[in-house]
Amino acid sequence: MNTIQLQAHSFTRVLRNVALASMSAALLSLAACEVNPPSDQGELSPPTGPNGLRKSTATASSIPLGTAASFAVLGGTTVTNDGPSLVNGDLGVFPGTAITGFQPEPANTIEGPGTVTGGLGIVTGTIYAGGPVAEAAHVDAGVAYNYLVLQEPDSMYGDVYQLDGDTFTPGVYRFPSSANLQVNGTMYLDFQGDSDALFIFQFGSTLVTMAGSNVVAINNNNPDCDGANVYWAVGSSATIDGAQFIGTVIAHTSITMGYGGNVSGRVLALGGAVTMITDTISICGSSNGGTTPPPEHGDEGCTLGYWKNHHESWGPTGYSPFQSVSSVFTGASATNAAATLDETLSFTGGPGVEGGQRILIRGAVASLLNAAHPDVSFPYTVGQITAMVNAALATGDRQVMLDLQSELDALNNAGCSLGGSGSDKVGKGEKGGTGK
């Protein structure tokens, strides 16, 4: 290592140590919640908000995310995933080096000295298993966290606050202890017609959004992303278990995603793990890191019965009923690989790995056609489906195949925008998630 490299390495370590020390001091300040009144110094006195608290002068452009901006997911110790999660943005871990539950290359781009254990997760950006890029992002996320918790609040709330039913306008909000959004509850962020409006939420301890809950933006003129200027600084750990969540969460310790969560923003855990279960996390507009934005709708799917009965709808997809499975998917047995796509829609499954392949391929072909058709708003792209299916087939594990089929089956039954009739529904015994 030459002199310049040594200096750069030392400088990075200094930055990281300063950031961590600042975070610790900021946490103590936030937990104590000792807010000094504005000084009586004429023009030098800062503007004040409700109750005489100093008003933050932060703007959307002033949040110092730095290199962390391109990361949709960043863990401190590890990142673990179960199921076909989709991350639109970069994903990384530091100072830990282990990432679990994501597809290997070439389905994902992977860098860093650490390990990525296989699974069904897809990352449209780059996976950084440790290394200098993840380290820089970790430092910058710490700086951003420190900046957020040091902003003086416009409003303060009591301990263990319930967020359900509240509407927040742009500003800085401090919760000295924790806050919860109850099951199926909704909170609203009113941008008041200003797409650059900034929301900062500070929590001394925890943030928990429960199953079925929603964080909803209203009066926002940003056509790309509702969560672009929403930040949640969490003093310990966050649990995001709702149907819809917007904004960037930076937690001092860990972040746990519930099953099927959808985040328009980022989840950045500084000192612990990020845990995911079949979630979608997308940085706003995916303009950072050259990544791809999430689909605008992604709530439609036609059943395998529809595709069996409507060959005329295959045309716009670019696929033929008579091409072989091997022309689309890899890793299937010789018998399954030789079947035509049309034949797979009548597969009956069976025992063992061979039967698991047939069950998965049956549903995967329907998903492939849904993703390829221009008039069906399907949650996954063709590339994502083929990558997930190929990875599942490569495991040789029947249960992995059935788990993915169960996910695809639900999406294929979301509702078909191409018409059809009752005869197009999945017939008895055709649903593949049961493993029958």
The whole-angstrom separation of Cα 143 and Cα 428 is 56
Domain range for 316 is 304-434
Cis bond upstream, residue 50 (ω within 30): no
At residue 380, the pLDDT reads: 85
86, 112, 30: which is closest to 260 by C-alpha? 86
Same domain, 256 and 341: no
281, 359: one domain: no
> Are residues 412 and 368 both part of a single domain?
yes
Q: Are residues 211 and 313 in the same domain?
A: no
Asked whether residue 366 is assigned to any structural domain, the reply reads yes
Could you say which residues of the chain have pLDDT below 50? 1-54, 286-297, 421-423, 425-436
Separation between Cα atoms, residue 330 and residue 392, nearest integer Å: 10
Residue 256: φ, ψ to 5°: -115, 120
Distances from the Cα of 302 to the Cαs of 123, 167, 364, in angstroms?
25, 37, 12
Longest dimension (CA), the chain: 84
The pLDDT assigned to 10 comes to: 37
How high is the pLDDT of residue 44?
27
Q: Same domain, yes or no, for 323 and 400?
A: yes
Alpha carbon separation from 342 to 309, 323, 328, 428 (Å, rounded) = 10, 8, 13, 18
Domain identity same for 279 and 337:
no
pLDDT value, residue 295: 39
Question: Would the pTM count as exceeding 0.75?
Answer: no
Same domain, 345 and 266: no
- Total structural domains within the chain: 2
Is 430 inside a domain boundary? Answer: yes
For residue 421, the model assigns a pLDDT of: 47
For residue 169 the two structure tokens come to 């306008």
Domain presence at residue 16: no
What integer pLDDT is reported at residue 206 of this predicted model?
97
Q: Residue 192 domain-assigned? A: yes
Q: Encode pLDDT of 133-163 as tens digits.
A: 999 999 999 999 999 999 999 999 988 899 9
Q: Are residues 135 and 98 in the same domain?
A: yes
pLDDT single digits (tens) 54-98: 455 566 667 899 999 999 999 999 999 998 888 989 999 999 999
pLDDT at 15: 39
What is the total residue count of the chain?
436
209 and 340 co-located in one domain = no
pLDDT at 147: 94
- 225 plus 349 within the same structural domain: no
Q: How many CB atoms lie within 10 A of CB 130?
A: 21
